Structure 1
Amino acid sequence: MVRTHVRRSTLPGRRMPGRRRRLVTLLTTTLLLTGTAAVLPATASAAEPPPLPVKTLTRSSWAYTDAADPSHIKVNASGDAPVGASVDAKGPHVSRTYYTLDLTSLGGKHVIGAALTIPEKRATDCARRAVELWSTAPVTGKSSWAKPPAELTRLATAGAPAAGCPADLAGLDLTAAVAKAVQAGEKTLTLELRVPAAHELDPRYGRWFANDVSLKVTYNTPPGIPANLRTAYPDAPCATTAPGVFTRAYDIPITGHYADVTDPDPGQDLVAHWEMWSLDDPSVRRDLDWPVTNGQAYAQFDNPWLPADHTYAWRLRVTDGVDTSDWSPTCYLTPDSVKPEVPNVTSEVYLTDDPWTPRGGIGVPGQFTFTANGSPDVVRYEYRFTGQSDWTSVPAESLGGPATVTFTPADSGSFSVGVRSVDRGNNYSWEQYRNFTVKDIRPYVWSTLYPPYSTNPGGNIGVPGVFDLSPGLPDTVSYDYHLDNGPDRTVAADADHNAHVTLAPTHGGENVLYVRNTGADGTVSLYREYKFQVDTAPDITIEGGLQIGSEATFRLAPRLAGTTSYTYWITGYQDEPITGPATVPAAADGTGSFAWTPLDTRAQAVRVRSTDAAGTQSEVRYLSVSVDGAAPYVTRTGGADAPGQPGTFTFRSSLKNTAEFVYWPSTDPAHKLTVPARPDGTAEVTWTPTEAGNVWFTVQARNTAGVLSSEGSTFFTVYDSPVVTSADFVREPAGPMRPGTFTLTSRMAGTVAFEFAVDSYTTTDVAAGPDGTATAAYTPTTSGYHTVYVRARAADGRTSGWGYYSFTVTDQPKVSSADYPAGQTSDGAGTPGTFTFTPNAPGMTGYVYVVHRKWPDSADEPERTVPAGADGTASVTWTPESYGDYYFTVQGRRADGSLTETAYYSFSVRNAPEVTGD
């Protein structure tokens, strides 16, 4: 058994377990006898690091000898065990005591510590004690004082106790003796307790001890040899001879290796020590430590150090931190880095150089043979045909040999077969795909009376129809056919290989005609399934439309001969039953009818079937329907835009026999009102909103029978926010930056003031007049886009919603010219023109302007300044030198020197007209 520690790998990322046993070193206190006084410490400690197991042994038997009876031994007597000299009524005695311990429970264990305790019962002289503990040969029935068991090793001595007696002999270290006996395979250990020879005859040293002892043994059981060794991918058991398991080279770090591990001592942390080395070069090796989890050892060896296509050996042993198992068997593997060649695939029936020429046929089997294309270690092939998403595996007939599979097409058209090789290292080749085309050798079927899949077929039960059969095999000699589950019949083909059969359906619904053809060489195709419908469902017509509350009549005409009655039912969404099923009789001519008055709009389908006198039922006719809910049309005129403002609502209904209308606003949905309908199916009501908000005004018509129509409605919004208007500040175009006013008109009753602001919600109050209006003054300070925010407030603190009014002002001056109007072309070059600048803001002291020429040559004239008159206006005269496109840029200047925004004025100039004389 190996009892040395394995080397630990210091590879990064290999964490050792949290708890690690160390080989336990037990400290033994040596018992010394000095002179005639032997001193034994009260306890002798042995380190027992948990959770190493502990076993307590007691004697299996005991005995003592007595010099007073030198030829006999007392075995398992009752009473205390005498040691040394003593005197009683029978005379003097000298005794030695023997304890026999059963060691069989320690077989196979590693004894780490053993401490013995012998209870002392009494002493002749407490202060005088000298005892020795020996291991001896076993006690036998012939043992006696005269022939004692041979003393082998003195294990311990003890002197006078430190304080008082009786004093137990406790913690006597028997580690070496017990370990030696267990290692030697001894089943028992015999211990002798005696007084040393120097004092053995002195009665003062006589002692009595318990006839039993307690031996506390700390031990460890080595882990078992790892078993069930295997490689993960491919999942293969240990191969104990080279070259071993073949695996893909790049799977080495992924695959790993496994082994099952057992340890008789529960709760210990086990670590597996793995070794792997190259058979070609043993210096190429790797040692790896890895924790054992749930009884399984696992290791991953990194790939770079393993050259592919060489054979490697690996093994492991396991340590629990104290003991180490023997090595496992050595396993072998060979990483294979060579992919097999792309396999070849052949088929005499289906594969040719022309994949588009149809071959074989539906139901015609064909063999496909896969060959390794020179790869000697192929063990299997994987293949799939069109329509198969998964690969199917087939073993090679021998290592590197072929494999053959059979494929029988169930359909015609284009197919492909894909195949790949897999070698013994589980390397996959590239995939090979071959295309082929399968002939449809089934016959073709057609019937004019019974066309396939027709939604409106002709014919009927018992009505014969001709079915034309044409060949799928070019040399067809006959056709076999049967209708549904009927008997098979055969008809010969004519000279053109065609045939015609007449058949009469025996039932309604789907019928299937099965037809196959036979060739001159005996080839028989699969059946073609020709599916056609026989429509026996009755025809349905509706007189008039379907409207809620109005009776509709459904007229029924039979397609099933001998119809005597009709059964109908009406369904809604997801076949929700609405009415029926109900049955009505058929007239003598087989027709029938039923009436139905829809009370709501749920109906989506009418279903009807007929029944003949024999109880035969037809197919079900499905007729999709929609019920007009006759929802009223609602219009609003004249108000209801603000609280307290009445509006007029007009209702119009197409519901027959409308008697009244039920209406309600969404502001009070629980309170429904009614109004009688006029003879023309209309009505008119007035409604006044009391609060702001969105309103749905909903109406239903009710007829004289009490049936309600669907709901009609109109939507509108009631506003209580103030209305803002202004003649000074218009929305478009931009106005001048001059003082002006806004008129505020309330739409909320009881308004006493308006909260007014521009461009923010920081408001000022403007008092409202008795008529709920007010005027707010405002002077713009900046040009641009502005928004007025205003809301009304009542005396009780109520406020309306916010009203908004947006406008734009600008301080850029206005430019005008009668001589050169903006955006127009005028005569002419060299002709002076007057341009007038008018302010859009007060305080203009002058104007800065520049004349720009855009075309034909870009040029700017020097910037010029003209003072403003008392009214803030100014005029300049400018003469164009030549034709072209021009524009002015003008800015007003204030007294503080600041300039307004720039105004642009564009126009065009023609050449001056030529003047000629007579």
Structure 2
Amino acid sequence: MSFGTRSRAVLAFLGTIGLVLAAAASPASAAGRTPTVPTDLFNGHQSCSTDADRPTYLWAGTGLGVEGIPGTTDTADNSLVTVQYRVWPVVDPSGITTATRPNALPGIEAPATLPAAALTDGRTYAWQAQTVADGTASNWSAPCYVTIDNTRPVTTPAISSANYQQGVFNPGGAQAQFTLSAEDDDDVTGFEYAWLLPLPIVGIAHIGDHGIPQFVDPYSQPRNFMRADAPGGSATVSLVPPNGSGPKTLWVRSLDRAFNASEITSYMFYVSPTGPSVTPAVPSPEFGEPTEFTLQPAPGLQATNPVVSYSIQTIGGQAYGNTIEVAAETDGTAKVTVVLDGIYGEALEVSSKSADGWVSDAGRWSSTYDTTPTVVSDVYPENGPGGGVGVPGSFTFTSKVKDVVSYTYSLNGDPEVTIAAGDDHSASIGWTPASDGSYDLQVYGTTSSGMQLASYDYYFTVN
């Protein structure tokens, strides 16, 4: 894979570009507006270098994009102008190639492409621009210097880590320290890395006012890029591994001065579990009761990378998916109170967070609850025959949990009926069947807070 400059993402200023080779016009003066020297010169969407000893290194496999803002002395006249560009090898000033951008708007970047055939890999060039208006031309701009680099680095980085050994399990909790080495290949000047593929695009340029490129230096983004300490040298990076335990892979490639990229290499290691313990204050918390939990870092984690907070996610309760953030004490522990109101059960998933951004994998606690009512009948037993047509019977509902104030029932899908519960949280109904056969009595309780509990299906048969 090679992303280099040939695959840079650019939000380019769009205009009609006509390219013709032409001889450079000579500066002249004429009546009316006078063309002025182009400003804001860019090559490959990077600012031009006017220092012959510090050229900009650029990929130009399909030609070199150059641009500048033309102008005239009459700023109120927006008539179209022409911008001419010329380029030559620094070692051979007579070897000039010229490209022209006609129909350019004064005050707006006027891009053109210097042909790839005129640009030799590894050679340094100078280029200039001038504005032509009404048959006269401005002076040429000061030269911009570029070195053409169409060759990607051949050396992939060597990767080592002081605290996460390759291919084995390592204690979690600390940022991973990596040393990336160019192995003395002085074509390499930096590195790109990420925990996931594909790696980010290198050298994005956004287009601002007047079409002026705003190049984003990759090395201003240390999350994915780091400059080597010298050509062919190395770089040390500190990275927070992705959340959780298990295998982690860092993907890395070398970059040269033109941001051409080497092949990608990788470094895989394993992180031991780092989930915190989650302990309720009582062994078997009751349904619907506020319960205090103690959260404690994984063994050894507090000494390695002190925990500053916890994230608690509730699963199965009335506040399903809610996340609670709790600050840790200086010893890394914390307490949190949760109302356990999952009608079938509830779980807590807890991860710890350290000051440097490390997030552990999740510790878990869970419990199941049976909140269905108990149903009994004196005449029509569950899952069996009883009574008969016209034989009255009764059904009594009792609750396994506290605070039930009513029961709602439906027989064979008939409309639901709600009856109040007594002081003992039970209720009874009388019923006389009009026909024999199988019946399904579905019942659920409701608490004083309006919470609907789990329903129960009571099956029986009328003789």
Q: Quick check: 1:271 aligned with 2:82?
A: yes
1:561 matched residue in structure 2: 402
2:137 matched residue in structure 1: 324
Q: Structure 1 length as normaliser, TM-score? A: 0.32
2:65 matched residue in structure 1: 256
Q: 1:194-209 maps to which residues of 2 (within 5 A)?
A: none
The AA in structure 1 aligned to 2:257 is R
CA 290–554 in structure 1, closer or farther in 2 if over 3 Å, else same: farther
1:369 matched residue in structure 2: 179
Deviation of 1:396 (Å): 1.7
The answer as to whether partners of 1:482 and 1:488 remain within 8 angstroms in 2 is no
Q: Quick check: 1:584 aligned with 2:419?
A: yes
1:402 matched residue in structure 2: 235
1:346 matched residue in structure 2: 160
The answer as to whether partners of 1:367 and 1:404 remain within 8 angstroms in 2 is yes
Distance 1:506 1:388 in 2: 44
1:281 matched residue in structure 2: 92
The answer as to whether partners of 2:83 and 2:104 remain within 8 angstroms in 1 is no
Distance 1:327 1:475 in 2: 65
Deviations 1:852-886 (A, max 9, x none): xxxxxxxxxxxxxxxxxxxxxxxxxxxxxxxxxxx
* % same residue: 22
Match among 336, 347, 353 for residue 149 of structure 2:
336
Q: Structure 2 length as normaliser, TM-score? A: 0.60
Q: Quick check: 1:246 aligned with 2:60?
A: no
Distance 1:318 1:397 in 2: 40
Deviation of 1:229 (Å): 0.6
Deviation of 1:377 (Å): 5.0
Q: Quick check: 1:223 aligned with 2:35?
A: yes
Match among 160, 165, 170 for residue 359 of structure 1:
170
CA 236–464 in structure 1, closer or farther in 2 if over 3 Å, else same: closer
Distance 1:387 1:238 in 2: 32
Q: Quick check: 1:110 aligned with 2:12?
A: no
CA 555–385 in structure 1, closer or farther in 2 if over 3 Å, else same: farther
The answer as to whether partners of 2:242 and 2:248 remain within 8 angstroms in 1 is no
The answer as to whether partners of 1:569 and 1:608 remain within 8 angstroms in 2 is no
CA 280–15 in structure 1, closer or farther in 2 if over 3 Å, else same: closer
The answer as to whether partners of 2:19 and 2:113 remain within 8 angstroms in 1 is no
The AA in structure 2 aligned to 1:410 is N
Match among 371, 384, 391 for residue 537 of structure 1:
371
Deviation of 1:513 (Å): 7.5
The answer as to whether partners of 2:38 and 2:131 remain within 8 angstroms in 1 is yes
3-state SS of paired residue (2:71): coil
Deviation of 1:332 (Å): 0.9
Deviation of 1:110 (Å): 2.6
Deviations 1:264-293 (A, max 9, x none): 273533222211101122343311222143
Deviations 1:888-916 (A, max 9, x none): xxxxxxxxxxxxxxxxxxxxxxxxxxxxx
Deviation of 1:514 (Å): 5.6
1:435 matched residue in structure 2: 268
Query: How many residue pairs get matched?
Result: 351
The AA in structure 1 aligned to 2:81 is L
Unaligned runs of 5+ in 2: 1-17, 202-222, 315-323, 330-336, 353-357, 384-393, 432-441, 459-463
Deviation of 1:537 (Å): 3.2
CA 260–564 in structure 1, closer or farther in 2 if over 3 Å, else same: same
3-state SS of paired residue (1:224): strand
Deviation of 1:532 (Å): 1.7
CA 579–267 in structure 1, closer or farther in 2 if over 3 Å, else same: farther
Q: Quick check: 1:237 aligned with 2:72?
A: no
The answer as to whether partners of 1:380 and 1:393 remain within 8 angstroms in 2 is no
Deviation of 1:313 (Å): 0.7
The answer as to whether partners of 1:507 and 1:534 remain within 8 angstroms in 2 is no
Distance 1:595 1:512 in 2: 42
1:885 matched residue in structure 2: none
The answer as to whether partners of 1:257 and 1:300 remain within 8 angstroms in 2 is yes
1:879 matched residue in structure 2: none
Deviation of 1:528 (Å): 4.5
CA 463–277 in structure 1, closer or farther in 2 if over 3 Å, else same: closer
The AA in structure 2 aligned to 1:244 is P
CA RMSD of aligned residues (A): 5.2
Deviation of 1:442 (Å): 3.7
Deviation of 1:260 (Å): 0.4
3-state SS of paired residue (1:402): strand
Deviation of 1:324 (Å): 1.3
1:802 matched residue in structure 2: none
Distance 2:369 2:100 in 1: 80
The answer as to whether partners of 1:225 and 1:261 remain within 8 angstroms in 2 is yes
3-state SS of paired residue (1:261): strand
Distance 1:282 1:482 in 2: 66
CA 380–270 in structure 1, closer or farther in 2 if over 3 Å, else same: same
Q: Quick check: 1:385 aligned with 2:195?
A: yes
The AA in structure 1 aligned to 2:260 is N
The answer as to whether partners of 1:512 and 1:532 remain within 8 angstroms in 2 is yes
Deviations 1:775-833 (A, max 9, x none): xxxxxxxxxxxxxxxxxxxxxxxxxxxxxxxxxxxxxxxxxxxxxxxxxxxxxxxxxxx
The answer as to whether partners of 2:87 and 2:125 remain within 8 angstroms in 1 is yes
1:61 matched residue in structure 2: none
Q: 1:740-755 maps to which residues of 2 (within 5 A)?
A: none
Distance 2:300 2:119 in 1: 64
CA 226–476 in structure 1, closer or farther in 2 if over 3 Å, else same: closer
Unaligned runs of 5+ in 1: 1-12, 17-21, 23-107, 112-219, 451-457, 490-503, 517-523, 546-552, 573-577, 597-605, 626-918
Q: Quick check: 1:314 aligned with 2:149?
A: no
Deviation of 1:569 (Å): 10
Deviation of 1:444 (Å): 7.2
Deviations 1:515-573 (A, max 9, x none): 99xxxxxxx9958532424536334879999xxxxxxx997542322423246899x9x
CA 359–282 in structure 1, closer or farther in 2 if over 3 Å, else same: same
Deviations 1:326-346 (A, max 9, x none): 111211110113323211221
Deviations 1:736-777 (A, max 9, x none): xxxxxxxxxxxxxxxxxxxxxxxxxxxxxxxxxxxxxxxxxx
Q: Quick check: 1:461 aligned with 2:287?
A: yes
2:217 matched residue in structure 1: none
CA 272–345 in structure 1, closer or farther in 2 if over 3 Å, else same: same
Distance 1:396 1:488 in 2: 37
Q: Which moved more, 1:278-287 or 1:554-563?
A: 554-563
Q: 1:822-833 maps to which residues of 2 (within 5 A)?
A: none
CA 335–505 in structure 1, closer or farther in 2 if over 3 Å, else same: closer
3-state SS of paired residue (2:116): coil
Q: Which has the larger radius of gyration?
A: 1
Distance 2:455 2:114 in 1: 71
Distance 1:475 1:267 in 2: 67
CA 225–487 in structure 1, closer or farther in 2 if over 3 Å, else same: closer
Deviation of 1:298 (Å): 1.7
CA 415–388 in structure 1, closer or farther in 2 if over 3 Å, else same: farther
CA 527–268 in structure 1, closer or farther in 2 if over 3 Å, else same: closer
Distance 1:433 1:403 in 2: 16
The AA in structure 2 aligned to 1:621 is A
2:208 matched residue in structure 1: none
CA 588–397 in structure 1, closer or farther in 2 if over 3 Å, else same: same
2:247 matched residue in structure 1: 414
